[in-house]
Amino acid sequence: MIIPNKLRGMLAKETAENHRRITELCKKYFKNKESKILDVGSGDGKLLNKIAKSTKINPKNFNCVELDTKYKKVLQNYGFNVKSFDLNTKFPYKDNSFDYVIANQIIEHLYFTDYFVEEIRRILKPGGLMILSTTNLVAIHSRLIMLLGFMPNSLHPSTHIVGTLIQKKGNNPIYGHKSVFSARALKQFTKLHGFKVLLSESQSILLVPRLLSKLICKVFDFGTHINIVGKKQD
């Protein structure tokens, strides 16, 4: 089935809502204006630029990891420090290097999720914070899609989009979602890797107004995204 333009627009709004919430969380938790921050999977840098402005932290204090070469210059133009390396491998940073780490919509693309979070914990200073956000395997729209016999769009068993309700024309290679969590699983996963969970929430339901969506997500983990704030424990 081909994705309608209207539905594409809704998904874009979901991304914007995710960026709004991550910016909000960073503003709430990033109290130290001289802090050193790492953002993994920075993309075009628009979200990180919003975070820098919102928290009033100097862009020079932000370090980015981005593999896509077309974004590297863009990130540098914002004033961020940029490195490129495989997030499935050891991070090229010393122990206790960062006050905060942001991992927004990246863990689902990785195979070695345990090692990834262990590396984040290693490079965080004692008491440092990780803000982790990912797609929700059991979002309400994914449950409904699976009832119809389609693959949820949050999970991609191939490097091509196959078996999903929402598709593009043709055979489109993608950087697929390999490791997808439910909210409950992600919270447990975070604790297992030496973090105290300060916040665990699902966020934003397709086609549902923000206020109503927020109320529903307080009771049920139906949201499109899952957000975790974890504090490194000794």
CATH classification at residue 45: 3.40.50.150
Q: Rounded to two decimals, what is the model's pTM?
A: 0.90
pLDDT in the model for residue 4: 56
Number of domains in the chain: 1
pLDDT of amino acid 166: 66
- The domain in which residue 187 lies consists of 5-232
Half-sphere exposure of 37 (CA within 13 A, CB side): 28
Q: What span, in angstroms and rounded, lies between the C-alpha atoms of 121 and 106?
A: 16
Q: What pLDDT was estimated at residue 1? A: 42
Task: Enumerate residue ranges in the chain where pLDDT < 70.
Answer: 1-8, 10, 166-175
* Other C-beta atoms lying within 10 Å of the C-beta of residue 215: 11
Residues 15-61: pLDDT tens digits? 899 999 999 999 999 999 999 999 999 999 999 999 999 999 999 99
Side chain identity, residue 50: K
Half-sphere exposure of 132 (CA within 13 A, CB side): 29
